[in-house]
Structure 1
């Protein structure tokens, strides 16, 4: 296990440096010989052999080669008085604050095949003072805090397949500013809850201006136009629509179910608050929804397939759902849904009449 202050070498690049921060189980920040901090996976570094040898042979009589090696070492972080900073990038006209949370998979075609990196993207000429936390079990747990320069992105951490199955909510507090500005900006608070099913669908990841690979983006702040539209009441919207469009007779609306019906059985999709509910209570709600949707699909002439998204979890919901399909609905065949679209967390039922 690495510790702050350890001297390490890069396995896939020349050089190395000193660990200045532990981000998580799989990532650290390393300050290289030029004074820049670089986020690095722990699988891509090794301990500096010179330092290890110095510890092992502390009682050994010094040799001329030892003094040569010691002379070649760079000074430790705490001994550096001057640190060279990268120039700040200011893009002309990019003066509207635009901040994003980004998820970049190693393999966009199969996002669960490998790690998914989490980034904070600053697409503006603003400096950001940020606080990043996870929200779970009614608690905000700090993950990182710091400063992000204009028109840059920051690696916050990584997600494994096991992490995706139990995602927390991602929370941010931000103050942002420019060196010169005609006004003061209001602080930003944002909490984002992401349905894990999105990580199972390759279509959730799209090309962007920030990464070479496909990425899933969530905007953290609203533009002035978006804020203005949000402040419009339903009455304002209807009035504007009446003024813009000529009067016409209302058309009867006929609701038809699609051939493929998707039903997400995750609790946060079924009810707003699970406080006070036992595991059995939640399972009863999920199974009630399952039966209602099955009856709805069976009575419809349009639906040919139903996909129930139950996730991985501990397998209780999947087991109960398939037990009932094999008894009460044994007339209808069922199987694992497409891995490409849903991963391992969904069951497809074929509605044959």
Structure 2
């Protein structure tokens, strides 16, 4: 029994996909492309590929929107390396794959990091040109996704090259996530692709010594850019037309909320007193989601409709503590 296996509940008619192991006795199963439930291991049966094929139960891969196909990068254009690929299991459920598209063996660990800290999830050894599913995420929960943390070490018997261990963190933002759609190497499926290495990192003793000296000198001060006093969240202000004209309404909303959160965080970091978000009137969904986030933020003193004579009801003024 592995992550990504299609299973049937022993005491029910539902089928689903194993998304993670909760402990030695419990697994998490995604049911009907929609919700996940914890199930005892003894209560699920793995459905073999032969059974799916013979009885017509094989899951249908989501058909990508036809206009998007022209945006895919051909697999031959991808360089060898280590990748994380998110591939649709269903229209809403994405499988997270660690991909070894290199000539080296790959030892890796995979974990997830949230505000509550780091949680180790998976580890394995991948031969060259192999991949492994290590977790699952739902598009509906995009704003709640953890940071993905991959640590890896490449090895090749009889190689004269010493490669150093690498740690990479992936933090997803809607504005860039949807631009990462490519053909995933090894799997040869459409997905969202992120390369973890530009090229194998050679160990350089001099550079290591310099890094140690820099770290002993103390952390450098990092200045967070100050956002504008008025932030326009209309999608045409955030993305070029060729990027947003093919997006669905839900994808547009995710990009707008990501831009809102980024500017709000930078306003708080720079001790701004107030900031105005221009969201327009439309169907009111964006305004409602923004106010929902503001109501939960402890850094907010209050929020209200911005000047009606200038914005009508299409902007919200946020007063910061």
> TM-score band (shorter)?
0.3 to 0.5
TM-score of the aligned structures, taking structure 1 as reference length: 0.44
TM-score of the aligned structures, taking structure 2 as reference length: 0.48
Q: Which has the higher strand share?
A: 2
